[in-house]
Structure 1
Amino acid sequence: MTDLTPGPSREQCKLETPLRKRRSRASITNDFSVKRQRVETIDFKESPVERQEYADVNTEPRADRFISTRPEALFPMNTTPHTNRIAKVFGLADERVLNFTDNILSDTTPDSKMFSALRRSASQLFRTTPTVHSSSASAHLAKRRQFLLALDGPGIPQDAWAYPLAWSPRNVIAVACGHDVYYQNLDTRQIAHLCNLPRPSMGRIRALAFAPAAAAGPELVAMGTTTGCVQVWDTTTRSRVRTWPNHDWMGAASLSWRGREFALGRGDGRIALFDIRAPEEVRKFKAHRGDVYGLQWSADERFLASADSRGTVHVWDARDLSKRLGKMKHEGPVKALAWCPWKPDLLATGGAYPDGDIHVWSTVSLSSTLTPEPLHTISTSSSVYSLHWSAHSKELLSTHGLAWARGTTRLPARLEPVPSPFTNSITVHAYPSARRLVSVGAHTGIVSQSCLSPDGTMLFTICFREEAMKMWKVWGCREEEGKKDSAFDKFSIR
């Protein structure tokens, strides 16, 4: 008689071992798991319904959005209860291919937390912390992000293209306030009045520049006014050294010294050369079609760079200033010019709206073409008003005004500002990677001008909207490496 009682057949009873319950400490879902012999074969064709027997139906799936999962053809780690326990202990039960972070919060057992911490600590062994040089702006300006000193400047010219601020080699800061010039010795913190323009016909002071450091002698500062008057004063004796007559009444726009001479850019596009030993202009020539907003001698004094309101930059030969060596172009007015101190052939230029780019040029390429291509370009989408190379590290500093959006093919005639890290900021870029290291909001208005300290570590910025000046610690001095001991220094050869 056939046994109709449901249950396993005799053939199945011969192949399978007796079942016994065993509780696992690595998972809370193994109350009904069983321990099988290790000689059994693993069935890779197990149906999904049977795998759901060991799943926790009270929790939602933890699959990350838009992250692909493993295909069913791969070997699953939770095929049997034994392998499932091992996979859960080592954190391998999750079938996701990618994980953003270690999901430690979901692990409830102490062993799971321990293995997750071990995996995280092991991954830290292969991570290298980037080293920051002590002279870099990342070690000073990026950490402090605060100014060291703030000074008021009532009457500062309300002109973004003016140069009312100058820093002397003897650590004296001078500022033009309307018809007067005041200066402060930053070592003694004494403030003094230098001079004023007695007659309204002499205009307002628009440009200031200190002469280079001299071994001995007076400390000279040159000034140019809106009506074209040019004077040189001695800050040590507070006396006027030289005055040049104003013949054409064309306002001064920029100044740059070379020894006891200085170049002056005027509003009609001409460049004039003055010598403190000569009562008249040494020479003058037509250089630009627009206002000469920028003038800068190179570090080796071989070249003179000039920029105008139409975005044109010229490079002139110092031996013959009427000889133009190169012509570069921006899409907006150019005021920011900077020659590299540790590589004299590099010239950085920055354009204002609607340009917003910083170009780095090389005078080496001027021998082959009159219109060279820039070596590097840094796009900021904001007006650039001043540039400075660091003398202690390969970094370039820029000061900015308002920023705009670059999405449109044609920018509007009037600037429409947008939020940006470059807005009214001091920004330092690495060279030659052009990577932005740090941006610090310096003022609530345009940072129209900045000056470097004599040692090249401090920066003074000015904002005509605030009528204020601020001093910042940007770089650090490079440590001088001591001379290595040599065998020839210890022993003599006979």
Structure 2
Amino acid sequence: MRFTNKREPDTNVTSYKRFRTWLSHKHSRESPAVSTPLSTGRRCGPNFELDDVVQRLELDSPSRCHAAAQRGHQASPLGNSTLKLAAPSLVNDYYTHLLDYSCNGILALALDSSVYIWNSETRSLLGRLDPSPEPGRKRRQTVSCVRWSGDGHVLSIGTRRGEVQVQLWDVERRQNVKTLPSHLSVVRALSWKQQLLSSGSTLGHIHHNDPRAPSPLVGTVIQQEGLCSLQWSPGGEWLASGSADGLLHIWDRDVTGSPRPVATMKQPSAVKAMGWCPWKSNVIATGGGWKDGQLRIWDIESATCVGSADTNSQICSLGWAEATRRLVTGHGHPHHNAICWDLEFPLLRPAFHLTGHSRRILHVALNNDAGQLFTAGADQCLHMWDMSFPQSLLS
């Protein structure tokens, strides 16, 4: 894969619409891999019924890494998948956020209408959470997004129907804590700011809720475009929201007034892959879709793009590795790989590639303490990667 500042025309590239149609038909003819069921670390309560559809696959052999060059730099052939788990019923939807990692070492992965809880330290399945349907509805609704609170004790769950509200779960007590006021459309993204939970819908409505209050809704923001990503900055000074129309809005911390964006930036495709830099409070990264393929670094104070790289691939997800001060991106057609980037602001340089998925990597999550990266793909597989190798090997 080549990295250039300008996309070269390619008459052999299939249109993304045709590619999605082909992918959908091909996916319907295949079944997820089956192997030995995961062992559990402990017996689970009623809300944590174990399900044998989540199964352990054999460990992958060291993955091959594609060579790539940007300004003459050769990507290092490092980064091996150390564990591969089946993830049947993982929804193949670019606009979902179905994977999240807590500060306590617990991974949450949404499969259809259930959320599976997995301990990355013991490598055992703890159980599953099933959000309750609205009164009068018998069928549970498909989960569209999950997000752990900052302390890792509460998991919030959003669903595809606005009537099935954002669900809050106390994982330690294994019970539904509170159901918050609903959106009128799909809950696309969730983000915590201490005890404040913000949720965004496909209609562009952003709700700020304090679950402790008798009337939890404490603020509302409406952006004109449909929302597909939402994230508070690490220090809570800014809230970023991305739209399907390619707009990145930055809001200040005031959630009770009538806020307007303090900055707005634009890219040619939806702002779904998005993440704040943990060590630079004014920096945020975004990834472009199939029509774009650009990884961009933004300075929100000047509202300008200060660095970019053309990946020639759909960017479905991204995350920051704070311990190594790198950026990881998950890609779709045509490569279906993950790329770890070195940053020397404003330059972006691919350090190495991670290959192993056969379809697009929809979600990434990072455990910085243990040097682990988790990726979930449309091939209905979850990979765990070891990112803790010495820095000297990458030089």
Aligned to 2:297: 360
In the alignment, residue 306 of structure 1 is paired with which amino acid?
S
Aligned pair partner of 1:171 in 105, 111, 114: 105
Alignment of 1:463-474 (within 5 A): 463-464=377-378, 466-474=379-387
Are 1:149 and 1:472, in contact at CA under 8 Å, matched by a contact in 2? yes
Aligned to 1:460: 374
C-alpha distance in structure 2 between counterparts of 1:456 and 1:268, whole Å: 38
Are 1:194 and 1:238, in contact at CA under 8 Å, matched by a contact in 2? no
Aligned to 2:173: 237
| TM, length-normalised to structure 2 | 0.73
Aligned pair partner of 1:447 in 351, 357, 361: 361
| Superposed displacement of residue 336, structure 1 | 1.1
Aligned to 1:330: 267
Question: Residue 212 in 1 paired to residue 150 in 2?
Answer: yes
Question: Residue 318 in 1 paired to residue 253 in 2?
Answer: yes
**Alpha carbons of structure 1 residues 298 and 476: separation in structure 2 relative to 1, 3 Å:** farther
| Superposed displacement of residue 245, structure 1 | 3.9
Q: Which has the higher contact order (CA 8 A, sep 6+)?
A: 2
Alignment of 1:274-423 (within 5 A): 274-278=209-213, 279-290=215-226, 292-320=227-255, 322-365=259-302, 372-403=303-334, 423=335
1:112-137 superposed Cα distances (whole Å, 9 cap, x missing partner): xxxxxxxxxxxxxxxxxxxxxxxxxx
C-alpha distance in structure 2 between counterparts of 1:402 and 1:346, whole Å: 27
| Superposed displacement of residue 154, structure 1 | 1.7
RMSD: 2.3
C-alpha distance in structure 2 between counterparts of 1:320 and 1:280, whole Å: 13
C-alpha distance in structure 2 between counterparts of 1:255 and 1:316, whole Å: 15
Are 1:395 and 1:431, in contact at CA under 8 Å, matched by a contact in 2? yes
| Superposed displacement of residue 375, structure 1 | 0.7
Aligned to 1:121: none
Alignment of 1:253-272 (within 5 A): 253-272=188-207
| Superposed displacement of residue 264, structure 1 | 0.8
C-alpha distance in structure 1 between counterparts of 2:280 and 2:132, whole Å: 44
Aligned to 1:227: 161
Are 2:275 and 2:320, in contact at CA under 8 Å, matched by a contact in 1? yes
**Alpha carbons of structure 1 residues 259 and 380: separation in structure 2 relative to 1, 3 Å:** same
Specify the SS of the correspondent of 2:272: strand
Aligned pair partner of 1:437 in 330, 333, 351: 351
Question: Residue 185 in 1 paired to residue 123 in 2?
Answer: no
Aligned pair partner of 2:92 in 152, 158, 163: 158
Instruction: Report the structure, 1 or 2, having the larger helix content.
Output: 1
Specify the SS of the correspondent of 2:316: strand
In the alignment, residue 210 of structure 1 is paired with which amino acid?
W
Are 1:392 and 1:476, in contact at CA under 8 Å, matched by a contact in 2? no
Are 2:131 and 2:167, in contact at CA under 8 Å, matched by a contact in 1? no
| Superposed displacement of residue 202, structure 1 | 5.0
- Percent identity over the alignment is 26
1:435-465 superposed Cα distances (whole Å, 9 cap, x missing partner): 222122241001011011152721100012x
Aligned residues: 308
Are 1:333 and 1:353, in contact at CA under 8 Å, matched by a contact in 2? no
**Alpha carbons of structure 1 residues 227 and 477: separation in structure 2 relative to 1, 3 Å:** farther
Are 1:202 and 1:227, in contact at CA under 8 Å, matched by a contact in 2? no
C-alpha distance in structure 1 between counterparts of 2:348 and 2:78, whole Å: 22
Are 1:462 and 1:468, in contact at CA under 8 Å, matched by a contact in 2? yes
C-alpha distance in structure 1 between counterparts of 2:372 and 2:158, whole Å: 26
Specify the SS of the correspondent of 2:206: strand
**Alpha carbons of structure 1 residues 222 and 399: separation in structure 2 relative to 1, 3 Å:** same
Aligned to 2:130: 196
C-alpha distance in structure 1 between counterparts of 2:201 and 2:140, whole Å: 15
**Alpha carbons of structure 1 residues 277 and 468: separation in structure 2 relative to 1, 3 Å:** same
**Alpha carbons of structure 1 residues 148 and 142: separation in structure 2 relative to 1, 3 Å:** farther
1:224-243 superposed Cα distances (whole Å, 9 cap, x missing partner): 00002211001112111111
C-alpha distance in structure 2 between counterparts of 1:475 and 1:345, whole Å: 27
Are 1:390 and 1:456, in contact at CA under 8 Å, matched by a contact in 2? no
C-alpha distance in structure 2 between counterparts of 1:396 and 1:192, whole Å: 29
| Superposed displacement of residue 393, structure 1 | 3.4
C-alpha distance in structure 1 between counterparts of 2:179 and 2:356, whole Å: 36
In the alignment, residue 284 of structure 1 is paired with which amino acid?
T
Instruction: Report the structure, 1 or 2, having the larger strand content.
Output: 2
In the alignment, residue 305 of structure 1 is paired with which amino acid?
A
Structure 2: 5+ residue stretches without partners: 1-72
Specify the SS of the correspondent of 1:469: strand
Specify the SS of the correspondent of 2:301: helix
| Superposed displacement of residue 364, structure 1 | 2.6
Are 1:392 and 1:477, in contact at CA under 8 Å, matched by a contact in 2? no
Structure 1: 5+ residue stretches without partners: 1-137, 366-371, 404-422, 480-494
| TM, length-normalised to structure 1 | 0.59
In the alignment, residue 189 of structure 2 is paired with which amino acid?
S
| Superposed displacement of residue 145, structure 1 | 3.1
